[in-house]
Amino acid sequence: MLSMTPYDAASPQEARVQPLIDGFGRTVSYLRVSVTDRCDLRCVYCMSEHMTFLPKAEVLTLEELDRIASAFVALGTRKLRITGGEPLVRKGVMGLFENLSRHLKSGALDELTLTTNGTRLEEFAADLARLGVRRVNVSMDTLDPAKFRVLTRGGQLPKVMAGIDAALAAGLSVKINAVALKDDNAAELPDLIAWAHARGCDMTLIEAMPLGEIEVDRTDQFLSLKDVRRGLESFWTLNEIAHRTGGPARYVRVEETGGRLGFITPLSHNFCESCNRVRLTCTGTLHTCLGREDASDLRAVIRAGADDAGLVDAIRLAIDAKPQGHDFHIERAAAPAVARHMSTTGG
Ligand code: SAM
Ligand code: SF4
């Protein structure tokens, strides 16, 4: 276990005193924390083939990540999602989960979750469940091992599937996330959805977002989920349901499979008016909007020796300036809307 921070005492009552409310009246209650920019895969829509990763000194230590995340919890954050890069490749990441799980025990936090590519889930699923994680998102864009190797530039699909099985066996709810790609997986999306639903997993489809330079032109790969939905409705009955997980997905039930299907549509329908999320990168940069260049350097704040009040002030200042919305347009998506990759910001 890592050393504790002054936020250990944060009680739900204290946390509710002064919630984080931005300049547009939205309460920020959900923090995504990217714990590393590194990854064991190189998905074509996410990273370029030859990425330059950050030097270690620039990356927050696990204690620093805990300190900032815990400050958010003390300020009313009810949901933490650990992401990356690939979070499970960060050395010692289970110590961070163990430490953060104290906020679940105290009742200050409703949920501690994880987004992973699944390659190391077999190893960690039981520990995650033991530490209070109830749900994990696993990104998997295809059921075809050869296509998976191409899309991830070398990934092994059986490892991911074994990770999903291990997570289910450990009692975790698993949601499968897939980015909808016109050429690479559009035709097999129904099979992927049926596969997930047959295992009792929810499934979410995501529109490719213009984040960071990659080798391919994203306009070639972009697939509107409006069109995907229309296609699915030609042979399935999709009924809108009120289910929400705190994120941007809007859900339907597929009557024929009995499973839930979510759509994350940042381009064809933006959801900024109800945005409750901010993102912390592994370098301690707080991004209050995924699709804007806004950034607050919380690493500089804590490494300059700020006390907890100073850190809270810096967080409040950043939240106050949260932009009203992003500015993604697919017709401009040949060039990225923001320069940083999704693996830097944390999905
Ligand atoms: N490595 C983990 C994973 O793949 O789940 C966590 C980080 S990854 C950046 C989080 C999610 O972002 C994944 O579901 C991935 O498919 C998605 N993603 C990455 N780049 C994206 C992009 N340009 N547009 C839309 N989704 C993207
Ligand atoms: Fe790695 Fe996740 Fe990006 Fe794929 S989507 S390259 S698994 S960070």
pLDDT means per 10 residues in the chain (347 residues)?
50 58 89 96 91 94 98 96 97 98 97 98 98 98 97 97 98 97 92 98 90 71 90 96 80 97 77 84 91 88 96 94 70 56 63
The answer to whether residue 40 sits within a structural domain is yes
- Structural contact between residues 317 and 325, judged by C-beta atoms closer than 8 angstroms: no
Cα 147–chain centre separation:
23
CA-proximal residue: ligand 1, atom 12 (nearest): 347
Instruction: For residue 201, tell me if it sits in a domain.
Output: no
Ligand 1 atom with the shortest distance to the CA of 141? 16
Is the pTM of the predicted complex or chain greater than 0.85? yes
Question: Rounded to whole angstroms, how far apart are CA atoms 64 and 89?
Answer: 18
**Would you say residue 340 lies in a domain?**
yes
pLDDT at residue 17, rounded to an integer: 55
Q: What is the pLDDT of residue 289?
A: 84
- In this structure, is residue 260 part of a structural domain? no
- The answer to whether residue 56 sits within a structural domain is yes
Given this model, what pLDDT does residue 324 score?
A: 80
Domain around 34: 12-176+272-345
Token look-up 């998997």 returns 140
User: Which of 206, 222, 345 best tests ligand 1's pocket when mutated (most atoms within 8 Å of CB)?
Assistant: 206
Pairing type for strands 27-28 and 20-21 reads antiparallel
In a domain, 213, yes or no: no
Q: Is residue 164 part of a domain?
A: yes
**Ligand 2 cavity residues, CB under 6 Å:** 39, 41-43, 46-47, 84-86, 117, 139, 343
CATH of the domain at 312: 3.20.20.70
pLDDT reported for residue 229: 95
Distance from Cα 250 to the centre of ligand 1, integer Å: 18
Q: Does 197 map to a domain?
A: no
Looking at residue 12, its pLDDT comes to: 41
Burial of 13 per CB tally in 10 Å (0-12, 13-18, 19+): exposed
Which atom number of ligand 2 is nearest to the Cα of residue 39? 1
CA 16 from chain centre, in angstroms, equals 24
Per the structure, the count of domains in the chain is 1
Which pLDDT score, from 0 to 100, does residue 337 have? 62
How far does the chain reach from its first CA to its final CA, in angstroms? 26
